[in-house]
Amino acid sequence: MKSLAILVAILLLLALISGPIAFAMTRIQTTTRRGEIIKRILIVLLTLLGTLIGVNFAMAHVPFVVRLIGIFSVAISLYAVRIEFGAPKKPREY
């Protein structure tokens, strides 16, 4: 039972911090192309982790607070991806 509690605590912690860390990494300015690639890879990995765990928590039969954590994780992770890679631009109408 102790190992199950540790696993759940790790999953909750990952769901809570993966999105905000990815969001914070979008604010880092890089000067080299290699740094930009490494930053983007880390952002994608963190958002993938946060989204997968968050969706799992949001759709499972768990208490309401845990569902909110899952929804928060998904929302912040997807917002970080949108900031880093940009939203599709609509053509300007004149």
pLDDT of residue 89: 66
Mapped onto helix, strand or coil, the DSSP state of residue 1 is coil
- Residue 90, by phi and psi: left (phi above 0), alpha (psi -120 to 50) or beta? beta
pLDDT of residue 1: 82
Amino acid 33 reads R
Query: What is the rounded CA–CA span in Å between residue 91 and residue 89?
Result: 6
The pLDDT profile of the chain, 94 residues, written as one tens digit per residue, is 889 999 999 999 999 999 999 999 999 998 999 999 999 999 999 999 999 999 999 999 999 999 999 999 999 999 999 998 886 667 766 6
For the question of whether the overall pTM of this predicted structure is more than 0.75, the answer is: yes
Query: What is the rounded CA–CA span in Å between residue 20 and residue 8?
Result: 19
Asked whether the beta carbons of 91 and 37 are under 8 A apart, the reply is: no
